[in-house]
Amino acid sequence: MEKIIELKKVNFSAQHGKVLTDVNLGYSKGRTTAIVGPSGGGKSTVLKLSAGLLVPDDGEVLYKEENLAYMNRAENLEFRRETAFVFQDSALWANQNIYQILDLPLRIHFPKMTKKERFTRIKEVTNEVGYKRDLEIRPSRLSMGEQKLIAFARALLCKPSLLFLDEWTESLDENGAKRLINIVKEKQKSGFTIIFVSHVMRLILDLADHVIIIAEGKVSHEAPKDNIMNELLERDFLKIGIEA
């Protein structure tokens, strides 16, 4: 199948040393890929590199066969509009209220959109994720679960075709998690490409087409979900960070 994003011979280091070594992988367009692995193994780093939020020390990250590092401003802006990222910690700006946080992406990507149109779109996505509180409050007044709902709403704002989700159901109650899972399922039906990091078995079994295991900074296994899960039945799930 067509690979919409590819990592080729990617190496990445942080302050504490080497994080990823010679990572080669690709994500199929219109499919859902789960990235799993032990804590500290590099799975969130792989996700952020894939989304262009981190720059590799060596190697290439390609989107539709174009190297992210060599995109001009217009190309990068289009990439940002077509993709969206939900951070594990939500990553909401502390000095802005919820409306301002959600308004900014629309102002950047759709400069001709009127204030009324932006407000309508913001209400659409907040209703979609089940956020019911005031838009004029700041993130510090929200629970961690409510912050995650806003982070997910922000990801949907510009109607992207590719979603990056990092531990995206953490901190949510059962109803909130179920709502976001159902949204993801609807996006799958619409042909979205979805790449997510999770340690929750039911999410992997329910949503993934493909599974990539990252351990000790390398791709240790990559296969269709059914194949890899059959093999994992003979292993200790806890060793690769999956809650069975």
Q: Buried b vs exposed e over 201-211: b needs ≥16 C-beta within 10 Å?
A: eebbeebbbbb
- Spell out where 29-134 has E strands: 32-36, 58-63, 66-67, 83-86
Q: What is the pLDDT of residues 189-204, one digit of tens each?
A: 999 999 999 988 889 9
Q: What is the pLDDT of residues 150-189, one digit of tens each?
A: 999 999 999 999 999 999 998 899 999 999 999 999 999 9
CA distance 217 to 213: 10
If we measure between CA atoms, which residue out of 234, 228, 186 comes closest to residue 207? 186
CA distance 98 to 135: 5
For the chain, give every domain's residue range. 3-240
Q: Is 161 helix (H, G, I), strand (E, B) or coil?
A: coil
Q: Name the amino acid, one letter, at 12.
A: F
If we measure between CA atoms, which residue out of 238, 122, 231 comes closest to residue 114? 122
Each of the 244 residues of the chain gets a pLDDT tens digit; together they read 789 999 999 999 988 889 999 999 999 999 999 999 888 889 999 999 999 999 999 999 999 999 999 999 999 999 999 999 999 999 999 999 999 999 999 999 999 999 999 999 999 999 999 999 999 999 999 999 999 999 999 999 999 999 999 999 988 999 999 999 999 999 999 999 999 999 888 899 899 999 999 989 999 889 898 887 777 654 556 566 676 5
CATH number of 3-240: 3.40.50.300
- The partner residues of 218 in beta bridges, in order of sequence, read 215
* 77 phi/psi in degrees, rounded to 5: -65, -40
Residues 6+ apart with CB under 8 A from 73: none
